[in-house]
Amino acid sequence: MIQFWLIVAAMLAAALLCMIVPLLGRCSREEDMTVARAEGGGVVLAAIFRTEMAELERQAAADPPDAQHGNARRELERRFVDEIGVQPVSTTVRAGSVAQRAGTAALLLALLPSAALVLYMRLGDPLAAAVQTDTTAGPDDRHAATQGSLDAMVGRLAARLRQQPDDPAGWTMLARSYAVLERPDDAAAAYRHALGLTPRDPQLLADYADAQASANGGDLTGAPLESIEAALALDPVNPKALALAGSAAFEARDYPRAIRYWRRLEQVPGVSAEIVDQARTNVAEARRLQSGAPTQQSGTAASALASSAVQGTAATAPATLVIRVRLSPELAARVRPGDVVFVYARATNGPRMPLAVQRLHANQLPATVRLDDSMAMAPNLRLSDFDAVTVEARVSASDSAQPGADDWVGTSGPLTGERRDVELTIGDVLR
């Protein structure tokens, strides 16, 4: 990090020298010409004065001096003094110009470094530079930096959107970031901003419904259901909207309607095999309940289906990572069903900030998680921008996005080239 700031200081010093040295080195050409003309005029006046004075002296030598000769001599001297009196003006001009140029140089010296620093703090990424250049950081520090960078990035994105609110992609990115950080109220507010700019986006409506329900303790009735219906009116085969609609009907004990939504979800082209299997399981459970048989599953599976359906047909995208996540036998015996699991990808050789993040719960594992460019946490940090990425999964003992002691983690090796899937076991304790 020190090396980075030394380079910045050297570049600023070079830029200042390129501007200030020519400014202070000499007068401008116009000023030089003005002074030269003034000095040349003084030489001519002195020559004229000497010539006329010599003529008066010659006349006085030929004729006896009288009062007229004295008057003529005094008049010549007075006229010379009056005309040569303009000569000091050139010195005044030179002194004023030097003071003006010195003031300009001082202003540049004060403003240029300040302006450069302000622009870097607004447009650059100081935290990413600090993390990337810290070669002494250990594994625990790198885990903390990853999530710390995520928190800092979300804060900067929120600040930028307050200054530039007409950015639907930015609001969507902010909403998804808040969802990952388990801030459903903030996520719902960000989705509202995005929908205010793009109101006919079915995926945004489905995501908004999910955030509304999360902020309301998982209840899909009321406003969330209205958003789901609006999404399906725009796109009848939107996977997440269908999954949420089935879950809402299931919670309302409208089992025939839940079955219809989940059967439609099974038929959506391109959905993953995992979603299809879960939809079929939910249909079977709804049919048992419809027939009056005792329940064999809670609403958790239906909620898990809605969460996984957000990825739609992303499995075929070239920048998609497919991660099969499971718990080690030791951890499976100790973990709580509601413990939060973060699965994220970051560049193997690059910024520590996550490129894509998904959040789920321990009772959903084992699970297949997909990460793609649509989940980018920053516009210039996408999975497709890096040749090698590393995937990590972490069970949070404190349900916090910030890593802490006794968290459990699993890490892949670098994924490069055509290798875009990985088996990941969470079983190492983060100390």
Would residue 132 count as lying in a domain? no
Q: Does residue 358 belong to any structural domain of this protein?
A: yes
Burial 247-258 (b: 16+ CB within 10 A, else e): bbbbbeebbebb
264 and 245, same domain (yes or no)? yes
In three-state secondary structure terms, 422 is strand
Q: Give yes or no: residues 340 and 387 share one domain.
A: yes
Answer yes or no: do 152 and 274 share one domain: yes
Among 282, 311, 340, give the residue marking a domain's end.
311
Token pair, residue 290, equals 């419809």
The answer on 303 and 247 residing in a single domain is yes
Q: Per-residue confidence at 66, pLDDT binned at 50, 70, 90? A: low
Instruction: Please report whether residue 94 resides in a domain.
Output: yes
What is the residue range of 33's domain?
Answer: 2-123
CB 398 within 8 Å of CB 380: no
Which are the contacts of 263, defined by CB distance < 8 A and separation ≥ 6?
279, 283
- Domain final position from 296, 311, 326: 311
Same domain (yes/no): 357, 326: yes
Report angle CA 323, 325, 327 to the nearest 5 degrees. Answer: 165
| Phi, psi torsion values for 86, nearest 5 degrees | -75, -15
Q: Which residue has the higher pLDDT, 401 or 190?
A: 190
Cα end-to-end span (Å), the chain: 26
Q: Are 403 and 143 a contacting pair, CB within 8 Å?
A: yes
- pLDDT bucket at 77, cuts 50 / 70 / 90: confident
Are 149 and 283 in the same domain?
yes
Last residue of a domain, one of 64, 90, 123: 123
User: Angle, nearest 10°, between helix axes 223-234 and 202-215?
Assistant: 170
The span from the CA of 98 to the CA of 121, in Å, is: 35
Quote the pLDDT of residue 199. Answer: 92
The pLDDT assigned to 156 comes to 84
Say how far apart CA 256 and CA 237 lie, in whole Å: 18
- Structure confidence by residue, pLDDT tens digits, 269-291: 888 777 888 889 899 999 988 88
270 located within any domain: yes
The reported pLDDT for the residue numbered 222 is 92
The predicted structure's pLDDT at residue 143: 46
Residue 157 domain flag: yes
Confidence of residue 361 (pLDDT cuts 50, 70, 90): confident
Question: What CATH number is associated with residue 384?
Answer: 2.60.40
Domain of residue 157, CATH code: 1.25.40.10
The answer to whether residue 385 is domain-embedded is: yes
Mean per-residue pLDDT for 353-361? 84
Strand, helix or coil for residue 56:
helix
Residue 392 has pLDDT above 80, yes or no: yes
**Contacts of residue 394, Cβ cutoff 8 Å, sequence gap at least 6:** 143, 341, 342, 403, 407, 408, 409, 410, 426, 430
Cβ atoms of 357 and 342 closer than 8 Å: yes
pLDDT given at position 278: 85
Whether 152 contacts 378, CB under 8 Å? no
Q: Are 116 and 152 in the same domain? A: no
CB 370 within 8 A of CB 271: no
Asked if residue 290 and residue 169 are part of one domain, the reply reads yes
| C-alpha–C-alpha distance, residues 415 and 320, integer Å | 12
Global pTM value:
0.56
Q: Is residue 347 part of a domain?
A: yes
State the pLDDT at residue 307. Answer: 58
Whether 355 contacts 378, CB under 8 Å: no
Structural domain total, the chain: 3
Mean pLDDT of 287-312: 61
Residues 355 and 426 placed together within one structural domain of the fold: yes
Of 378, 222, 244, the C-alpha closest to 308 is 244
**Is residue 135 a part of any domain in this protein?**
no
Q: Are residues 367 and 229 in the same domain?
A: no
Q: Let me know whether 198 and 225 are in one domain.
A: yes
Q: Which two tokens stand for residue 358?
A: 């998904």
CA atoms within 13 A on the CB side of 21: 6
Calculated CA dihedral for residues 31, 32, 33, 35, nearest 10 degrees:
90
Question: Using the 8-state DSSP alphabet, how is residue 292 labeled?
Answer: T
| Same domain assignment for residues 401 and 426 | yes
